[in-house]
Copies of this chain bind each other. A is one copy, B any other.
Amino acid sequence: MRLVVARCSVTYEGRLAAHLPEAIRLIMVKADGCVAIHADGGAYKPLNWMNAPNTMVEHADRWEVFNPKGERLLITMHEVLSDESVALGVDPGLVKDGVELHLQVILAEKPWVLEEGLNLMRREYPTDLGPVDLMCTDRYGALVAVEIKRRGELDSVEQLTRYLDRLNLDPRLRPVRGILAAQAITPQARLLAEARQIDTVEVDYDGLREAESTELRLF
């Protein structure tokens, strides 16, 4: 990784046009070639950047970075204050726990917490618009598509609606109804779901996880 502190101005031309007036900034060049220009604030997002793969041409007074899509980043160097390189090696990577997948696994084991009599048929049931999180049958044997989210918002209802439209085109499946399950559901999403006859269920993730570990302790 190369770290350059410089008084510079920057122009980006690509998906939009953007310009940075002259100021002192940190320019980070990673081993994969990606370039990021950081100010001393504004969360972790750089002011300007160019991801790999790209080509960098270093002139005396400016850097030009191109990528295959025709985007272009031009850094004009007015004064280089420092320029250091350090070898970091390959990173072993990030281990995560507690994302949507976890909630899906728990609900796949106990779909009846969403509705009495609900039974799992299959997880990640494929449609040609993407997979339904849980495909279940209800107490009467009818099909129910369940979409699981951490937060249920308008987009979630749209997504489930698309799946339902698709599934209900198939006479062997029809009728399929939907349930949106999330730890929290916005009133607007609830409104839209209701208008489309989609049920909404708020799920207590922490409670379920607790119950799960209690069962593990019992056996």
Q: State the A residues within 8 Å of B (CB).
A: 1, 3, 5, 15-21, 23-26, 28, 30-32, 34, 36, 38-49, 51-52, 81-82, 86-99, 128-130, 154-155, 158, 162, 165, 188, 191-192, 195
A96 to B16, CA, bound (A): 7
- Give bound CA distance, A102 to B138, whole Å: 49
* Contacting pair B32 A88 (CB below 8 A): no
Closest to A43 in B: B51
Q: Do B94 and A40 touch (CB < 8 A)?
A: no
Do A18 and B91 touch across chains, with their CB atoms under 8 A apart? Answer: no
The 3 closest A-B CB pairs, nearest first, are: A39-B91, A16-B98, A40-B88
Besides A26-B28, A26-B86, A44-B51, 6 new A-B residue pairs in contact (Cβ under 8 A), listed by A number: A1-B40, A18-B96, A21-B92, A23-B89, A34-B41, A129-B154
- Most chain-B Cβ atoms within 10 A of its Cβ — which of A41, A45, A191? A41
Contacts of A26 in B (CB 8 A): 1, 3, 28, 86, 88
Q: Which residues of B contact A52 (CB under 8 A)?
A: 41, 43
Q: A97-B16, A158-B158 are in contact. Are A25 and B91 (CB under 8 A)?
A: yes
Docked-complex contact A5 and B41, CB < 8 angstroms: no
User: How far does the alpha carbon of A41 sit from the alpha carbon of B94 in the complex, in Å?
Assistant: 13
Instruction: Give A99 Cβ to nearest chain B Cβ, in Å.
Output: 6
In whole angstroms, what is the CA distance A201 to B129 when docked? 20
**Given the complex, which residues of B lie within 8 Å of A32, measured CB to CB?**
40-42
Contact of B44 with A36 in the complex, beta carbons under 8 Å: yes
Docked Cα-Cα span, A18 to B26, in Å, equals 27
Residue in B34, B86, B162 whose beta carbon sits within 8 Å of that of A44 in the complex: B34
Q: B residues within 8 A CB of A89?
A: 23-24, 40
A213–B20 alpha-carbon span in the complex (Å): 22
Q: Chain B nearest CB: distance from A39 CB in Å?
A: 4
